[in-house]
Every structure is written in structure tokens, then in C-alpha cells.
A = this chain, B = another copy of it.
Amino acid sequence: MVINKPYLLFLGDASDQLAAKTAEGVAYWRRSDCVGQMRLPGCNANLHLPDLTIAEASKQGALTLLIGVANRGGRLSELWLPYLREALETGMDIANGLHNRLADVHELAELAANNGRNLFDLRHTSVTFDVANGKKRTGKRLLTVGTDCSVGKMYVSLAIEQEMKRRGIRTSFCATGQTGILIAGGGISVDAVTADFISGAVEALSPDQEPDHWDVIEGQGSLFHPSFAGVSLGLLHGAQPDVLVMCHEPTRKHMRGLPEYPVPSIENCITANEAAARLTNPNATCIGISLNTAALDEADARDLLAETEARIGLPCVDAIRTGVSRLVDCIPI
């Protein structure tokens, strides 16, 4: 699967910035691959890229329209169809991170076929997986885990990969969600896998490697999220991580999408993840924490990082604000 660049990032009518996190991730980690963004009325997200129409983006060389919006439940909006049609008619492919398949929308499938364009439904795969066998694999693995969904696990993973590579450590980023797949150019959307094969898919994603090679595996969800914890546990078991990094958003008032559910403490979340991880890797250890302090000012963020580090007794960074160097120092290379 080769997705042609550069991209036009389609934000639709994203209700807030978090809803556009797919597009935001691609823009942050691969900005030079993005000609601009397209926003519809009611869109409350902004990536500070040029606002372009389909025609303008096409003129500037965009080869693929990325549906960069992650609505709850991952559904395709009827509102977007005219724009998707226009993109196909002007010669772009479409890459789609939603659960709905573009290929199942008859008029889009037909239009793509007639125009010789491709529809990439990133959450779907025709690949089948084996059931996980739980056998110890060669090489080393780091997995990011979190107190909630959308707390920065992919960013932290990519920052760690970047820093490990900078130090000359053999490292691969293993993408488990649609944004990561767009950034990495490959991977498996584990939440789209048939439930029986979650752990098996992760075993396939991160196979045997050289003894000194590190796979940095992108985590998903949270063991404490009532909607998605099954995915998180299957991913944790399949990853067999040597090292865990806990990710947390300190201003989150409740679990994403579920006002009745409080966010667990970092401490409880570390304990639960280490206990569950040790089923398939008895040495699994959380070596540090990354807080997403984007909502705090510099002084408050520094105070919170220091306070959290002192309280829990593990290095505590913000992958964006401070970098992850102090976490990478703790990885037993």
C-alpha cells in the first residue's frame, strides 16, 4: 500500500481540535507532505496550514485528500460527500481513517473506479492474522500506554523513536492507528481487527527482531476506558513490552466521551498496566511518564512535571515541551 503525497488535510466539520487529531498528527510529524487544510462551516479545528479549496489544493499538487477527522464511533458524515466527490473528480485519491469504508459508498466507489483513483480505507485490512501464541520474541519492545484515549501516546512514541535514532539505536515505530499508519507508511489499526485476533495482530506487527533492535509500539485507549479497554489489553499482551511509558493529560476532567467516568490516577494506571503486561513479559516495567501539558503555561507545566516526578518516583517529561531525552536515558539499551 503506497499512499501518494502530498496531502490535502480534510477537517470536515470537526467539533473541536481533538476531533481532528489524525490530521494534526500528520501535519506535526510530516508537515512538508501537506499542501494545506480544508475546513467546512462549523469546523472548530485549525492546523494553521493554508485553507484551500479542492481546486486550489489540486493546482498545488495535492495527490491525496486525507480524511483527518476522528469522530466518536468513526462514522462518515453525509455532509462530506460532495467534497469527496469533487476530490475524486479532480484526480485525487482519498485516504480514510474512519471505521466506515469509502468503498462501501456506492457513488464514491464508482467515481473512483471511473476516474482511476484509489480509496484507502485505513481502518480495514484484508490481511488475516493468527491467534496470538504468546511466545517470547527476540528484540526489545517499548509500548506507550495511557490513563485515557487521546492523551498523546502516538506523539510520545514518535518522539522516543526520533530520540533513539538520534542516539544511533536501531529503532522502528510500529503504528497501531490510522494517523500513525499515515505517518509511518504502514502498520495495523488494531481497533479494526476482529476481536479474537487483537493480540495476534500485534505479534505480527512487531515480529522477531535483532537482539539490539527496539520496536516502539504506539499504544491505544486505556485499560480504564469502558469503551475500549479490551483493545488496550489485547495490545498490551501482544506487544510483550520490556518497557512501558505512561501517558497522561492532566487537565482531563473525565474519560474522553464519558462524563460519568473519572480519569484514573497515574499510579493506579501504572500498577494495572505492569500487572497485565507481566502475563506475557514478566520483566515489563514502566520507566517513566509523559504528561501532555499543552493546556498549561510554562511555569505551571514545569511545576506539575516536577511534582509528579517527585510523587511517583519516575522521570516525568512532556514529549513536546521538554523532549523525551530523560525517558530514553532510562531505557535499558
Contacts and interface: CB of A to CB of B under 8 A. Distances in A.
A258 B135 CA distance: 9
A42 interface: no
Contacts of A258: 133-134
A82 interface: no
A200 B227 CA distance: 7
Contacts of A73: 130-131
Contacts of A72: 131
A92 B237 CA distance: 42
A196 B134 contact: no
Nearest to A200: B227
A196 B191 contact: yes
A109 to B, nearest CB: 18
Copies of this protein in the assembly total 2
Main secondary structure of the interface of A (DSSP, over half): loop
Contacts of A130: 73
Interface in A173-206: 190-196, 198-200
Given A230-B231, A230-B233, A194 B99 contact: yes
A332 B227 CA distance: 27
29 contacts: A72-B131, A73-B130, A99-B194, A99-B196, A131-B227, A133-B257, A134-B226, A134-B227, A134-B260, A134-B261, A191-B195, A194-B194, A195-B195, A195-B198, A195-B230, A196-B228, A198-B230, A199-B227, A199-B229, A199-B230, A200-B227, A224-B279, A226-B237, A226-B280, A229-B237, A230-B230, A230-B232, A230-B237, A231-B234
Which 5 A-B pairs give the minimum distances between C-beta atoms?
Answer: A230-B234, A134-B226, A191-B196, A132-B227, A230-B230
Interface of A: 72-74, 99, 130-135, 190-196, 198-200, 223-224, 226-235, 237, 257-258, 260-261, 276, 279-280
